């Protein structure tokens, strides 16, 4: 399995959006993944195309990355939509979280 830029994007982008990132071990079985998705209250899935079978049947909105980096890739379209939504303000358009104890990452072992 090759490194996935999606993971770095999620760590920075999700936290910058004021949400909580929950990375899921790709070695888990689909029923274990389903438990984590339910228990964590996940609202959106960002997933690599090679791992889609792990979330088959999930009703959570899902954005699939085909690892192309090109227009037409669902993940690239998702990122483009975000840039459009933010009116291209990027990091400068985000509010800083003042509370250093605000949740950012939820980990399951």
Q: pLDDT tens digits, residue range 6-22?
A: 888 888 888 888 889 99
- Chain-wide mean pLDDT for the chain? 87
83-103 pLDDT tens trace: 887 787 777 777 778 888 989
Q: Confirm if 30 and 51 have CB atoms less than 8 A apart.
A: no
Q: Confirm if 98 and 14 have CB atoms less than 8 A apart.
A: no
Task: Report pTM.
Answer: 0.80
Please indicate whether residue 91 or residue 79 has the higher confidence score (pLDDT). 79
């Amino acid at each position: 399995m090759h490194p996935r830029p999606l993971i770095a994007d999620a760590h920075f982008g999700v936290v910058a959006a004021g949400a909580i990132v929950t990375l899921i071990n790709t070695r888990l079985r689909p029923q274990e993944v389903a438990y984590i998705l339910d228990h964590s209250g996940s609202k959106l899935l960002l997933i690599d195309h090679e791992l889609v079978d792990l979330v088959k049947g999930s009703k959570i909105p899902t954005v699939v990355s085909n690892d192309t980096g090109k227009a037409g890739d669902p993940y690239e379209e998702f990122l483009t939509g975000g840039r459009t939504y933010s009116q291209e303000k990027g990091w400068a358009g985000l509010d800083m979280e003042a509370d250093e104890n605000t949740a950012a990452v939820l980990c399951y072992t």
